[in-house]
Amino acid sequence: NAAAAPPPHGLPGFARFLFFGMHGFLDEVLFTSIFNLVEKSDRSLSGHTSLWSFLMYGSCSFVVEKLYLHLHYTRGWGTWRRLPIYICFIYTWEFTCGLLLRQFDACSWDYSHYPHNFMGLITLLYLPGWILLSLYQDVLSNVLLGIKCTKDGTDSNGEVNGRVESKKKIF
């Protein structure tokens, strides 16, 4: 399978990292509030996260995006072929970060009470969520990589935010 087009360039890497970190923050707060509603009947919809999560989500999503670019554009792999690699990487990332944070008594999660957990740091219970977020990751990456950043909003081809604009001034 040959890839259809060259990889896009979009927002600078640091901006994408910040976006992914903040998006992960929001995802985690939403997920924990809904999970607490279902698991504990907590109608306050209170969610939680940790500042460490910002770095974990930002860096993990940034690397998964690099995997996406390589596997999709270089190797021509489709979504369903990339998905198992994303999932293995995410679980490895979560486990490694959790193991490191535990060394400093800073790990904000413990899945020991969930079925199919490994050392309380990862659980297969969250697999459906990781699958959905992995699929969504490709969509987010395409959007972020499709944004054109220029000083005045117009690139050298006369495009403004992906659309060709007329140079005529209307008075």
CA Rg value for the chain: 20
Q: What is the DSSP track for 31-53?
A: HHHHHHHHHH--TT------HHH
Average pLDDT, integer, range 140-148: 88
Burial (0-12, 13-18, 19+ Cβ within 10 Å), 19: middle
Interatomic CA distance for residues 18 and 55, integer angstroms? 9
Task: List beta partners, residue 117.
Answer: 123
pTM (global) more than 0.85: no
Q: What is the pLDDT of residues 18-70, one digit of tens each?
A: 999 999 999 999 989 998 899 899 999 999 899 999 999 999 999 999 999 99
